[in-house]
Amino acid sequence: DAKTTQPTSMDCAEGRAANLPCNHSTISGNEYVYWYRQIHSQGPQYIIHGLKNNETNEMASLIITEDRKSSTLILPHATLRDTAVYYCIVRVHNAGNMLTFGGGTRLMVKP
């Protein structure tokens, strides 16, 4: 799986958009970008994934650059409940192994 680089921590004001970047410069053509988050001591929660097109669901939007070397997860209106560690993971979807988690970005949403 391609390696990812994320900032260790970020702050965001409540109600504002939270933009979480992820670099994955060694991504290969058949690897997807997945985002998960973990709210304190709970099980990680799947948020969104994409291959090359931008994606949106009820939780977030995922913007992938044209060269696919980086992506941004956008929480359009962050709330205090979005405070969590966000993990960007790049992998082939049917690889013979499950997810490998890096350090992630600790997002603190402040009132």
The residue ranges that bind other proteins (CB under 8 A) are 32, 34, 36, 41-49, 51, 93-94, 96-104
Between 81 and 97, whose beta carbon lies closer to other proteins?
Answer: 97
Between 17 and 51, whose beta carbon lies closer to other proteins?
Answer: 51
Could you write out the three-class secondary structure of the chain? Answer: CCCCECCCEEEEECCCCEEEEEECCCCCCCEEEEEEEECCCCCCEEEEEECCCCEECCCCEEEECCCCCEEEEEECCCCHHHCEEEEEEEEECCCCCCCCCCCCEEEEEEC
**Minimum distance between the CB of residue 39 and other proteins, rounded to whole angstroms?**
11
**Minimum distance between the CB of residue 62 and other proteins, rounded to whole angstroms?**
12
Between 14 and 32, whose beta carbon lies closer to other proteins?
Answer: 32
